Structure formats: structure tokens, C-alpha cells
Amino acid sequence: MNFDLEYIEKLVKMVSDSELTELTLEEKESAIVIRKEKEVVQAQTILPQAVAAAPAMQSAQIPATAEEKKEEVKKGTPITSPMVGTFYMASSPGAKPFVEVGQTVSAGQVVCIIEAMKLMNEIESEVSGKITEICVKDGEAVEYGQVLMYVE
């Protein structure tokens, strides 16, 4: 790989100082992915062998504190984003939202859409219950694993 360390450090600083959440650079069969998650900037080098051996490199999740766990219990079961993308409450601008706070949903019901790479991905509730909170605004960027809403 011909990316030098100084160049990578400049890219990490650029991502850190901007509103970008991810930057990917590819050269032949190698790639560098710089991803910002909750104010932490990470740089990963993906070699061709690693791409073939592992489906995706994921960063370790920070364990929730006891207080955060209590908050989750109060709010209900979280519905999280299975990917990085843009959150949409409805199938098109001006359309009725899939769900609203206070509405009852069933397991398998579509609750929102995540747009990733120009593909619209319907997100379904894994549990039945009442929507207690919607944590993301329509049109907002979301990260992998981010809580979208809670079902009680």
C-alpha cells in the first residue's frame, strides 16, 4: 500500500474537524476507511486478504453504564439502525409517517426507511408494542447500531 502515515494523519484530522462521518480511499486492491463514531476518529486499513476473510470490520461497542441501562428499560426495547445511512419517517416527502409516538406496532411492521447508497431499506420492528420515543429526526444521518426508536 502506498499511503504514507503523514497523509493518513492529515485525513484523520480532516474527518475529525469536519462533519464527515466516514471517508474511504482505495488504491488497487487495498483500502483505508476512516470512520468517526461519537466524536472518536478511527482509521482502519483493509488488506485484500482481510476483505476475503472477514465480511466487515466493526469497532468495539462501549458498554452501557448502569444509568443508561435503566433508561433503556424505562423506554422499552430499542430499534437500532442496521447500517449507516439517512433516516426517513415516511416512504416519500409529504407522505404519512410509518409510525408515531403512542402508536402500536406489530413484529415485522415497517417503522422507517434507512437510505444507504441510494437504496431504500425498510426497517421492521422485531417486537410488538407501543412506540414510546423516536430518537432521530426525519432526514438525519444515522450510524450502525444507533437507536432509532423505542417500543414498549
pLDDT digits (tens, 9 = 90+) for 71-111: 545 678 999 999 999 999 999 888 999 999 999 999 999 99
Instruction: Report the pLDDT value the prediction gives residue 106, as an integer from 0 to 100.
Output: 94
Q: Does residue 36 register a pLDDT over 80?
A: no
> Which of the pair, 40 or 151, is modelled with greater confidence?
151
- Whether the predicted pLDDT of 69 surpasses 80: no
Alpha helices in 37-107 (DSSP H): 48-53, 66-75
- At 38, is the pLDDT very low, low, confident or very high (cuts 50, 70, 90)? low
**Mean pLDDT (whole number) for 103-128:** 92
| pTM: predicted TM-score of the whole model, two decimal places | 0.53
* C-alpha distance across the termini of the chain, in Å: 49
pLDDT number for residue 22: 79
CATH code for the structural domain at 66-151? 2.40.50.100
Domain ranges of the chain: 5-53, 66-151
CB contact set of 22 (below 8 Å; sequence gap of 6+) = 15, 33, 34, 35, 36, 84
